[in-house]
Amino acid sequence: MTATRRCFAWLVLLFAAWQTSAFAAFDHEHRAWSDLLKKHVVVQDAGKSSRVSYAGFARDRQRLKGYLDALSAVSDADFKSWSKRQQLAFLLNAYNAFTIEKVLTRYPNLKSIRDFGRVFGNPWKDKFFTLLSRGMTLDGIEHDTIRAPGRYDDPRIHFAANCAAIGCPMLREEAYVGARLDGQLDEQALRFMSDRSRNRYEAGTRGLALSSIFDWYGKDFARGWKGYNSLGQWLARYADQLADGAEERAAIRGGSLPVAFLDYDWRLNDAK
């Protein structure tokens, strides 16, 4: 082999090694985020809800920022090379982690994430971080990316993205991971639908009282995910969680009950 060919072969090997290390650089297990969640998320109500120790996250602020920096370092090109489950896990973890970082910028002088402002200072529209090679907002992650039609089309994301309010579905006590994402999202949905403070049959009205999430995002549950083409079909799947009586459960499965939406509790989901 000539010196030129040997040099070329070495360059090919170096490029392959660089490419492999570049793809392997990001931890798809999200171990740093999982460690923080296990430490600072307090699970309640037999696993159906949780509160967040923001004081604990504040003490671990540098570790949180290290994880956020790792998220921000992922380029849009690298992100697009991943599987859809890896992408969705990344986006859900990013939404939750950057939400906590936003809260910490005003904590402990914060009673609700809405205290940042509804128009000026709106926490969901504030471009306060970088993600996928560009300035990003929380709305940009959730609405423009995760919920973009045809991208993921999975209504269970509404039980996984946590907006730092008591009315939100619980913040999971571990990171989302692509290899286990389907099971994690199923569990999040079951937890939320089992929480009678958020979703329930009410004997007084002989109807369902549901989280406002189903009012705001009802169309997401009618896009054909796994054959579910209406919110009623989704609710029928969880009839056993929504009601105790056989007659009421049958009515839920039959889609014959009126639906009312509960007021959303925007107070901070602090574990004080």
Q: Mean pLDDT in the chain?
A: 93
pLDDT digits (tens, 9 = 90+) for 5-37: 554 445 544 444 444 444 458 999 999 999 999
Domain boundaries, the chain: 26-182, 196-265
Check residues 171 and 272 and name the one with the higher pLDDT.
171
Residue 6, pLDDT score:
57
Mean pLDDT to the nearest integer, 170-190:
98
What are the DSSP E strand ranges found in the chain? 41-44, 49-52, 129-131, 134-136, 200-202, 207-210, 259-261
Q: Quick check: 125 pLDDT over 90?
A: yes
With b meaning 16 or more CB within 10 Å and e meaning fewer, what string describes 222-250? Answer: eeeeeebeebbebbbbbbebbbeeeebbe
Residue 23, pLDDT score:
45
pLDDT digits (tens, 9 = 90+) for 183-225: 999 999 999 999 999 999 999 999 999 999 999 999 999 999 9
**Which DSSP letter does residue 148 get?**
S
